[in-house]
Amino acid sequence: MKSSPLPNPLLREFWRGLTTPDLGVLKMAAVILLSLFGILSGLAVNFRHQIEAGKVEWRTMNHDFGRSSVLAMKGAARETDPSGNNLIFVGPSSLRCWLPHPDETSALATSASGEKVRVLSMCGGGQSYAVTAALVDRFGSDFNGWFVIAAGRQTIGQKFTDKGMAARERQPRMIGFYSDLLTQTSGLLGIPTDTITGWELWDHRDFHHRYEFGFKLRASKKKKPYKPFLEPTKVPVEAWGSAINRLDTDSLQRHLTVLEFVVRNVRAHGRARVALVETPWVDTYTPAMQTPEWRRDEDVYQQKMREWSQRNDVPWITSPATFEMSASDFSDPKHVGSAGHRKRFLEAVVHELIPH
């Protein structure tokens, strides 16, 4: 037994009881702990049931993976427009920052098309192609429209650092549903995955912790507005070159293999189609960053993407790379900061995919 550091006799007795093992107390603590886990597990399952019943609104969420999870779980039947066209953008934050604010995208796309268009986004910071595949699969493809998936060179042809791999390893905990496709495609990409316990509270712990089993969404005072864009950084543009990576053809091929899974699944289960869109980083618009190695990588990337697109009969939208832009239009090396070019990007995709 540890000696008490407390001078007061009552406090010393309390300390003795706290630090002296007692079988009865340990049993009681175990019962209380298991009961608490049981209650929390029930809350987690109930939260999922509420989402699947369409009773949770993803627009009230301010975190990318939470919004995307709930949108995917509610699915195409609830979230797409059966009387119009639908564009579902899926990818990392570099795609999210190429799009206007979610509150404006449908109206802007409808204006550009001349026909009714609904635009939805399932994008998250550093989102892996395994998570993208899982979100598309869970959302469902029985709707009229397109999944538009980001395939920028710095995204699809990037070899992960240890830090980047660790971040992607955590992502399954951030989404609120199980997915065999997520496990399968994570393996193809070499992303380690947690052992699935079947205990939702643990397997999706980051999702449930962030939203407190749905209670946080019902507390209006805790809600914060969703901010899809990044504030411009104060880092000099000259320092951005270190963020531009060489093309890794092995990563490119692995990601394209995952996208083949996505295309086959979409075609097998509905009317929707898949398109890929180039989401350039700042180097595309900054000649000073375009070294001979950069240009060789760019040629290989464009050739591989064209061949894959033709082989799989999937549109490959490259028009954003032709925009007249500069580093001043970016918040950082990978995120667009120009509202005008976001609108132009959306219009370019609409014109490529929606008949008008």
What is the DSSP secondary-structure string of 113-170?
HSS-EEEEEEEETT--HHHHHHHHHHH-S-SSEEEEEE--HHHHTPPPPHHHHHHHHH
The span from the CA of 216 to the CA of 263, in Å, is 36
pLDDT for the residue 1: 47
> Distance between CA atoms of 255 and 189, rounded to whole angstroms?
7
334 is written with which tokens?
A: 């990978």
User: Within 10 A of 311 (CB to CB), how many other CB atoms are there?
Assistant: 10
Work out the number of other CB atoms within 10 angstroms of the CB of residue 244: 20
Residue 35 neighbours by CB distance under 10 Å: 10
What's the pLDDT score for residue 34?
A: 76
| Domain annotation for the chain: domains and CATH numbers | 63-194+226-353 (3.40.50.1110)
Q: What is the pLDDT of residue 225?
A: 78
Q: Which residue stretches of the chain have pLDDT < 70?
A: 1-26, 29, 213-223, 232, 234-235, 356
**DSSP, residue by residue, 221-279:** GG------SPPPP-S-GGGGGGGPPPP-HHHHHHHHHHHHHHHHHHHHH-S-EEEEE--
> CB-based contacts of 338: which residues, under 8 Å, 6+ apart?
325, 329, 330
pLDDT at residue 341, rounded to an integer? 95
- pLDDT number for residue 223: 60
Sign of CA pseudo-dihedral 175, 270, 251, 282: negative
- Residue 228, both tokens: 């899809």
What values do phi and psi take at 184, rounded to 5?
-65, -50
Of 160, 181, 191, 151, residue with least CA distance to 312:
151
Closest among 204, 165, 215 to 186, alpha carbons compared: 165
The label of the residue with tokens 């979100």 reads 135
pLDDT of residue 177: 94
Vertex 159, ends 281 and 322: CA angle to 5°? 20
Per the listing, tokens 């990601």 go with 255
- Cβ burial of 336 (10 Å; 0-12, 13-18, 19+) is buried
Integer CA distances (angstroms), 167 to 74, 134, 298, in order: 26, 17, 27
